[in-house]
Amino acid sequence: MAVPKKKVSKSRRNNRRAHDAIKPASHMECSSCGELKLPHHVCSSCGVYNGRKVSSTVED
Amino acid sequence: MRHLNSGRKLNRTKAHRRALFANLATSLVEHEQIKTTLPKAKDLRPLLEKYITLAKRGGLNSYRLLISRLCSQEAAKKLVEDIAPRCKDRQGGYLRITKAGFRYGDNAPMAIIEFVDRKIKVKNKTEGDKVSKDSKTEKSTEEASPKKSKKKETKKTSDKVLAS
Ligand SMILES: [Zn+2]
């Protein structure tokens, strides 16, 4: 069976993980209420998407 | 290999999936708009759009087919009598999916699926009825809800204070 010949050093391991960082989720301002929202999603605070009231569970 | 296989299994057996989509479809027909997970909404849309096409065709055979597929006579009736005439001028694309954040608990992507020709007044009427019914039975929850909102506000303000 193939087995690693040498222990991977901390430096080599950390260098490998240099590009593994998770980027923060993108967000934008809602055009109708100004609250921060996820792009391409219904606004969680006012329930509007593309100028249309979608979610009726979110109260005004 | 899953070549030429479409659709999702959703961790369910075939019978379970069939029942699930019958339930989702009847709920959507009843309420005009429902919130579910994005994969379920994505599989429900083509299914229910085919049923709407069937309802638009009319006749006793399609009506009976709808009852058997939806497992609900009321939903089939509403499809034929209410929704099919509303969707008359549309050649497909009767449903709209909008992404609606991620569920608390399992972070599942959620979506709101609704009829493009949705009667907003109908929805409001049913909501009004529900509110009047709920206000009699669930007064305690109504009393509790404003407190929750107040708590949220205080949290928000505290966050703002921290940010500043
Ligand atoms: Zn908003």
Q: DSSP letter for A44, please.
A: T
Examine residue B5 and state whether it is found in any structural domain, yes or no: no
Nearest to A37 by CA among B80, B101, B152, B59: B101
User: To the nearest 10°, the Cα dihedral for B127, B132, B133, B139?
Assistant: 110
Q: Report residue B71 CA to chain centroid gap.
A: 17
Residue B118 confidence (pLDDT) = 83
Torsions phi, psi of B53, nearest 5?
Answer: -60, -40
Report how many domains make up chain B.
Answer: 2
Any residues with CB less than 8 A from the CB of A38 and at least 6 apart, and which?
A: A25, A26, A27, A28, A44, B99, B101
**Can you list the alpha helix ranges (DSSP code H) found in chain B?**
14-31, 38-57, 60-70, 73-78, 84-86, 120-137, 139-163
For residue A35, being part of any structural domain is answered with: yes
Interface mutation target, options B35, B97, B98, B149, chain A, most CBs of A under 10 Å: B98
Is B70 a member of any domain?
yes
Contact B112 A38 (CB under 8 A): no
Tell me which residue range forms the domain holding B98. Answer: 14-115
| CA atoms within 13 A of residue B82's CA, in its CB half-sphere | 15
Q: CB distance A42–B98 less than 8 Å? A: yes
pLDDT on residue B121: 52
Query: Is residue B28's pLDDT more than 70?
Result: yes
Q: B107 with B137, same domain?
A: no
Residues in chain A: 60
A57: confidence class by pLDDT, cuts 50, 70, 90: low
The tens digit of pLDDT for each residue in B115-128 reads 998 876 544 444 44
Name the closest residue on chain B to residue A40, using Cα atoms: B99
Same domain for B49 and B89, yes or no, is yes
Which residue in chain A has the smallest CA separation from B115? A54
| B28 within domain boundaries | yes
Q: What is the distance between the alpha carbons of residues B107 and B132, in angstroms, rounded to a whole number?
A: 33
Is residue A38 included in any domain, yes or no?
A: yes
CB contact under 8 A, A38 and B98: no
Average model confidence (pLDDT) across chain A: 89
The interface predicted TM-score (ipTM) is 0.77
| Interface residue ranges in chain A relative to chain B, Cβ cutoff 8 Å | 38, 40-42, 44, 49, 54-57
Amino acid letter, residue B54: L
Taking residue A2's Cβ as centre, other Cβ atoms within 10 Å add up to 4
The answer as to whether A52 is a domain residue is: yes
| Same domain assignment for residues B85 and B160 | no
Query: What span, in angstroms and rounded, lies between the C-alpha atoms of B112 and A58?
Result: 12
Task: Report d(CA B25, CA B71) in Å as an integer.
Answer: 10
Which domain, by its residues, includes A34? 26-60
Please give the residue that has the higher pLDDT: either B21 or B2: B21
Tell if the CB–CB gap between B123 and A56 is shorter than 8 Å. Answer: yes
Cα B87 to Cα B14, B45, B62, B119: the distances in Å are 30, 15, 16, 12
Same domain, B78 and B145: no
In this structure, are B67 and B145 located in the same domain? no
Q: Mutate which of A26, A54, A59 to test chain B, going by most B C-beta atoms within 10 A?
A: A54
Name the minimum distance, in Å, from the CA of B100 to any CA of chain A.
Answer: 5
Contact B100 A41 (CB under 8 A): yes
Interface test with A, best of B112, B130, B149 (most A CBs within 10 A): B112
Cα–Cα nearest to B113, from B52, B17, B38: B38
Q: What is the CATH number of the domain that holds B75?
A: 3.90.1030.10
pTM for the full model? 0.73
Convert the pLDDT of each residue in B85-108 to its tens digit: 999 999 999 999 999 999 999 999
The Cα–Cα gap between A49 and A32 comes to: 9
- Asked whether the beta carbons of residue A56 and residue B100 sit closer than 8 angstroms, the reply is no
Number of independent structural domains in chain A? 1
One domain, residues B106 and B132: no
B110 and B84, same domain (yes or no): yes
B136 or B108, which is more confident = B108
Q: What pLDDT is recorded for position A50?
A: 87
Which residue did the predictor score with more confidence, B156 or A36? A36
H or E segment and range at residue B97 = strand B95-102
